[in-house]
Amino acid sequence: MTAEVLDRAGASLAAESARFTARGWMPGTAGNLSVTVGRDPLRLAVTASGLDKGELTPADIVVVDADGVGVLGEGGSEQRPSAEAGLHARIAAVTGAGAVIHVHALAAVTAGHHWPEGVVLRDLEMLKGIGHSAHGETVTIPVIANGQDMTVLGDAFEALYVRPASGENDVPALIVADHGIYAWGRDLRQARWHLELTEALLQIVLSRR
Amino acid sequence: MTAEVLDRAGASLAAESARFTARGWMPGTAGNLSVTVGRDPLRLAVTASGLDKGELTPADIVVVDADGVGVLGEGGSEQRPSAEAGLHARIAAVTGAGAVIHVHALAAVTAGHHWPEGVVLRDLEMLKGIGHSAHGETVTIPVIANGQDMTVLGDAFEALYVRPASGENDVPALIVADHGIYAWGRDLRQARWHLELTEALLQIVLSRR
Amino acid sequence: MTAEVLDRAGASLAAESARFTARGWMPGTAGNLSVTVGRDPLRLAVTASGLDKGELTPADIVVVDADGVGVLGEGGSEQRPSAEAGLHARIAAVTGAGAVIHVHALAAVTAGHHWPEGVVLRDLEMLKGIGHSAHGETVTIPVIANGQDMTVLGDAFEALYVRPASGENDVPALIVADHGIYAWGRDLRQARWHLELTEALLQIVLSRR
Amino acid sequence: MTAEVLDRAGASLAAESARFTARGWMPGTAGNLSVTVGRDPLRLAVTASGLDKGELTPADIVVVDADGVGVLGEGGSEQRPSAEAGLHARIAAVTGAGAVIHVHALAAVTAGHHWPEGVVLRDLEMLKGIGHSAHGETVTIPVIANGQDMTVLGDAFEALYVRPASGENDVPALIVADHGIYAWGRDLRQARWHLELTEALLQIVLSRR
């Protein structure tokens, strides 16, 4: 990939990270964002680990492969990628997403605690914004248990994501219980839209408990 | 209408949309705003559909008629108007509003869920800001069921809005259950004031449950 | 008073109004702020009525007397002062305040509803910030009923403010039930400090219900 | 120490204070921040008392010793240090922290009220950000009673901080009940990270009550 592609990706990742930091969704150095920059083989530009997400520069990205392992010699910094890059890559591989966002938004953590089997949503207008019907369709935001092995988390995600003989429950978001939320889309902007809408939907169902 | 009128309308709509996005009231691409730019026949400039409401430009407006259908050749962009433009137009026609705002504010959605027959407000100072008395008058913020057919929603609104032989319950706001809120006024600024006041009133009554 | 004094007062009032608007404490055109600009006779510069409090200019002030009635010919604009200017003036007269702030902050309205006889605070560090002890002293934020006659409200305030033979309950804040809060201080900055601290104290006691 | 070191410390302290003020964590003149500028003897640059924490300049710092007493002739202003400087100094001495932050964040005050024996956290991802495991480890955010004698508070902190024969409960945060929270780290940025993460963790456990 060209330096220009990575520069653009880095600038977008820094800008969106600053936005989420301002919303309080990236406390400390929590969370990470990625953009898919290559498909064959799979390559993601992901925010570097351990940095303040409100102060990233376009250079603070790492190129990782399908396992979330840093790839040297293809551009990006030589900083350490987050361990969570492995789940970003799995989501990008399974869903075809062009961008993945992971933040520690409160409604997601709270909803994941109350509904560990998945958060059931139905008859809400904003379901349209995540690809479903506003009426008469039951949509479940999947919830998986937290863990430090991204292969285990990726398998748990994939088991819930691929529905037998249907694409019915294709939801562009995943709650990791006691941890946070992942949301994705064709690009970083749509991934943000999906994140904002899912968090808003979760706030609504939490307000009804 | 002149290009200057549309330019001014577009600039105001973009600025107010950015304001509501910053407040979290327009997650994803949710919500839309309009300004009445002609009365005979009715014409509204409404924000275009599917765009990030924090990043609109003055050109991101569509001119629609009394049914919310895009009108070509009268200025504005050729982008797709939101389906909800039909409800904007109905509200403008019925109430004479110069501007209508539709956002997905949380207190409105929560209140609409708890009080599907309408949210009853009484003895609150801020009722003065939406045209009523701070004392001794019962005011109901109407709530209608959500739906995708704007004619049905418009009829439901009109049935609640026009009181037999009185103007008593003239409230410049409407909750669409499981969805969001509409507020309107003589211009975009007053429509915003009505929105802010109604949302604040709803937060007060929700805090008392 | 000189034009310079009024100019400075107007600039401060506009800046602080914009600050409170950004916090959501002045929905619509709600709330008003004043600075004492003369003592003998009493004169206040108060924000003009009916304007967006996020968009005031230094010229958007009115000079009022001890009854809150606009005084012509002494500078300031000829706009209409808020009816609430009468309560500002009473507070300035009774307490010697150099500035009074009135906003519609949510915790104040909620606390006033739950504790109409006054909000009792005790053993909280921030009581020091409103002139009391952090330990072993019971402090009551007075609550008065809402009304439109500022003489009635002023009398209710004064009855609660002046304690027989003591200055014990001298609290620089007053809740008007179903309405909002007044806070004051020697200048606009200290009045804001008192407002921020009182609202924070009320949030604490509300979180403990 | 050199003027340059103090200038840099002052600029950082002013910037971070403004950040926390914007979040509502420093109402009135509440809270204070410090940076360790000397170890032998211990010297801290601490924000001056009684000032608006959103408007500090780099010069608004005081140099204090291990007892939190102002030291003249070593740079910094001659303003009054906060009484709380004594607890800052104790924390810096006991933990080796390079920076200490004290703010009045709501979740800390609420959690300290509900769990006066300490806030027990377990199985939460963000525990990693304050130096613990996300799984299978019980971590307690210590809570001490409020008081005005910093020696008493410092002793209470030290009794909870130093665990017999272990470093197990080394948590970079301390709740002072009915008052606020202290957080610290190797520098001001890491202290902020610890503060943000602890406040987020407390919001999570409060949402589960």
pLDDT of residue B130: 95
Identify how many contiguous H helices and E strands chain D contains and give both numbers.
Answer: 5, 9
**C-beta of residue A137 within 8 angstroms of C-beta of residue A128:** no
**Is the Cβ pair A28, D124 closer than 8 Å?**
no
Using CA atoms, how far apart are residues B125 and C181, in angstroms rounded to an integer? 12
What is residue A168's predicted lDDT score, i.e. its pLDDT? 57
The two counts, helices (H) then strands (E), for chain B are: 5, 9
Nearest residue to A205 via CA among A103, A121, A131: A121
Gap between the Cα atoms of D2 and D18, Å rounded:
25
* pLDDT tens digits, one per residue of D131-184: 999 999 999 999 999 999 999 999 999 999 966 455 555 899 999 999 999 999
Cβ contact A29:A64 at 8 Å: no
- The predicted-structure confidence for C116-136, as pLDDT tens digits, reads as follows 999 999 999 999 999 999 999
Q: Residue B202: which domain range?
A: 3-207
C44 touches C35 (CB < 8 A):
yes
pLDDT score recorded for residue A200: 98
Q: Which amino acid does the sequence have at D2?
A: T
Is C200 in contact with D104 (Cβ distance < 8 A)?
yes
- pLDDT band of residue D2 (cuts 50, 70, 90) is confident
Going through chain D in order, the beta strands assigned E by DSSP cover 32-39, 42-47, 61-64, 99-103, 119-122, 138-141, 143-144, 173-176, 180-185
Best mutation target among A122, A125, A138, A202 (most B Cβ atoms within 10 Å) is A125
Whole-angstrom distance, CA of residue B156 vs CA of residue B118: 12
Average of pLDDT values for D52-81? 93
Shortest distance between the Cα of B185 and any Cα of chain C, in A, equals 12
DSSP SS3 for B42:
strand
The percentage of residues in chain D with a pLDDT greater than 70, rounded to a whole number, is 96
The amino acid at residue B124 is L
Closest partner CB to C109 (pick from B129, B197, B204): B204
B200:C106 CB<8 A: yes
How big is the B-C interface in CB pairs under 8 Å?
A: 55
Residue C119 CB-density burial (10 A; 0-12 exposed, 13-18 middle, 19+ buried) = buried
**What does the pLDDT read at residue B169?**
56
Q: Which residues are B44's β-sheet partners?
A: B36, B64
Contact between B187 and B172 (Cβ < 8 Å): no
CB < 8 Å to D52, chain C: 189, 193
Of A106, A146, A147, Cβ closest to residue D207: A106
Residue A207 burial by CB count (10 A; 0-12/13-18/19+): exposed, middle or buried?
Answer: middle
- β partners of residue C61: C47
Chain B contacts to C (CB-CB under 8 A): 123-126, 129, 134-135, 189, 193-194, 196-197, 199-200, 203-204, 207-208
pLDDT band at C75 (very low <50, low <70, confident <90, very high): confident
Q: Say if CB B69 and CB B5 are below 8 A apart.
A: no
For chain C, which residues lie within 8 Å of any Cβ of chain B, measuring from their own Cβ? Answer: 24, 27-30, 52, 104, 106, 109-110, 113, 146-148, 176, 178-180
- How far are the Cα atoms of A53, A71, A84 from residue A13, in angstroms, in the given order? 10, 18, 16
- From the list C28, C148, C176, the residue facing B196 with the nearest CB is C28
Question: What's the pLDDT at B164?
Answer: 47
- Chains touching chain C through at least 3 C-beta pairs below 8 angstroms are B, D
Residues belonging to chain D:
209
Q: What is the DSSP letter of D129?
A: G
Using the structure block, give the residue that is written with the tokens 């439901």: B156
* DSSP β-ladder status, D143-144 and D173-176: parallel
Q: Where are the beta strands (DSSP E) in chain C?
A: 32-39, 42-47, 61-64, 99-103, 119-122, 138-141, 143-144, 173-176, 180-185
Exposed e or buried b per residue across C32-54, where buried means at least 16 C-beta atoms within 10 angstroms of its C-beta = bbbbbbeeeebbbbbbbbeebbe
Site from D103, D126, D197 to mutate, A interface, most A CB atoms within 10 angstroms: D126
From chain B, the residues in CB contact with A208 under 8 A are 110, 113
3-class SS string, C13-25: HHHHHHHHHHCCC
pLDDT of amino acid C164 = 47
Question: Residue C182 in contact with residue C82, Cβ under 8 Å?
Answer: no
B70-80 average pLDDT score: 88
A touches which chains (3+ CB pairs under 8 A)? B, D
Q: Please report the pLDDT score of residue D76 as a whole number.
A: 85
CA distance A191 to chain D (A): 23
pLDDT digits (tens, 9 = 90+) for A123-173: 999 999 999 999 999 999 999 999 999 999 999 999 999 654 555 558 999
Bridge partner residues of B120 (DSSP): B140
Q: What is the DSSP string of D145-162?
A: ---S-HHHHHHHHHHHHS
Task: Tell me the three state secondary structure of residue A103.
Answer: strand
Cβ distance A153 to A175 under 8 Å? no
From B131's Cα to the closest Cα of chain C, the distance in A is 12
Q: What are the chain A neighbours of D25 within 8 Å (beta carbons)?
A: none
Answer yes or no: is pLDDT of C167 > 80.
no
Query: Pick from D24, D106, D180: which is nearest to C125 by CB?
Result: D180
pLDDT of B114 > 90? The answer is yes
Taking all residues of chain D, what is their mean pLDDT, rounded to a whole number? 94
Domain of A57, CATH number, reads 3.40.225.10
ipTM: 0.95
Distance from CA of B130 to the nearest CA of C (A): 9
Write down the pLDDT at residue C170: 87
Cα A31 to the chain's mean position, in Å? 9
Residues in chain B whose Cβ is within 8 Å of chain A: 24, 27-30, 52, 104, 106, 109-110, 113, 146-148, 176, 178-180
For D24, phi and psi rounded to 5 degrees?
Answer: 85, 15
* pLDDT 10s digits, A163-206: 545 555 589 999 999 999 999 999 999 999 999 999 999 999 99
C207 burial via Cβ count (<10 Å: 0-12, 13-18, 19+): middle
Could you tell me if B79 and B94 are in contact, meaning their C-beta atoms sit under 8 angstroms apart?
Answer: no
For residue D143, give both structure tokens. Answer: 């809570």
| Residues making up the binding site of B for Zn(2+) | 102, 104
Q: Please give the DSSP secondary-structure letter assigned to residue C80.
A: P
What distances in angstroms separate CA D153 from CA B162, C79, D83, D101, D178, one per listed residue?
A: 65, 54, 12, 16, 13
Contact D205, D198 (CB under 8 A): no
The nearest alpha carbon in chain C to B195 belongs to: C28
For residue B2, pLDDT beyond 90 = no
- Which residues, including other chains, have CB under 8 Å from residue A142's CB and lie 6 or more apart? A118, A157, A160, A161, A169, A171, A174, A175
How much is the mean pLDDT over chain A? 94
pLDDT tens sequence across C5-62: 999 999 999 999 999 999 999 999 999 999 999 999 999 999 999 999 999 999 999 9
- Which residues of chain A neighbour B146 with C-beta distances below 8 Å? 123, 125, 134-135
D147–C197 C-beta distance less than 8 A: no
Contacts of A28 in chain D (CB under 8 A): 126, 129, 193-194, 196-197, 200
State the total domains in chain C: 1
Region C166-177: mean pLDDT is 82
CA angle B107, B112, B115 (to 5 degrees): 120
- Give the type of residue at C142: P
Q: Smallest Cα–Cα separation from C201: which of C123, C116, C95, C137?
A: C123
pLDDT of residue D64: 97
Name the minimum distance, in Å, from the CA of C46 to any CA of chain D: 22
Give contacts of D189 with chain A, Cβ < 8 Å: 52
The pLDDT confidence band at residue C157, using thresholds 50, 70 and 90, is very high
A97-107 as b/e: b if 16+ CB within 10 A: bbbbbbbbbbb
Phi and psi for C53 in degrees, rounded to 5? Answer: -75, -5
User: In the prediction, which pLDDT does A164 show?
Assistant: 47
pLDDT of residue A71: 94
Which sign, positive or negative, has the C-alpha torsion D31, D35, D39, D43? negative
Interchain pair C134, D113: CB under 8 A: no
Query: In chain C, which residues have their Cβ closer than 8 Å to the Cβ of B197?
Result: 27-28, 30
Q: Cβ contacts of residue C44 below 8 Å, gap of 6+?
A: C34, C35, C36, C37, C63, C64, C68, C85, C88, C89, C92, C100
Confidence (pLDDT) at D154: 98
Give pairs for B189-194: CB < 8 Å, separation 24+: B189/C52, B190/B98, B190/B99, B191/B97, B191/B98, B191/B99, B191/B100, B191/B101, B192/B16, B192/B19, B192/B101, B193/B129, B193/C27, B193/C28, B193/C29, B193/C52, B194/B129, B194/B130, B194/C28
Residue D113 assigned to a binding site: no
Q: Please give, rounded to a whole number of angstroms, the shortest distance from the CA of B127 to a CA of chain A.
A: 24
C4 burial class (0-12, 13-18, 19+ CB within 10 angstroms)? exposed
Instruction: Choose, out of C179, C199, C203, the residue to mutate when testing the contact with B (most B CBs < 10 Å).
Output: C179
State whether A27 and D124 contact (CB < 8 Å).
no
Residue B99 C-alpha from the chain's centroid: 8
- Tens digit of each residue's pLDDT (9 = 90 or more) over B132-183: 999 999 999 999 999 999 999 999 999 999 654 555 558 999 999 999 999 9
- The SS3 of residue B34 is strand
Chain centroid, CA D88 distance in Å: 7
Task: State whether A110 and D208 contact (CB < 8 Å).
Answer: yes
Gap from C148 CA to chain B (nearest CA, Å)? 8
The answer to whether C110 contacts B194, with C-beta atoms less than 8 Å apart, is no
Say what the pTM is. Answer: 0.96
Which chain B residue's Cα is nearest to C146?
B125
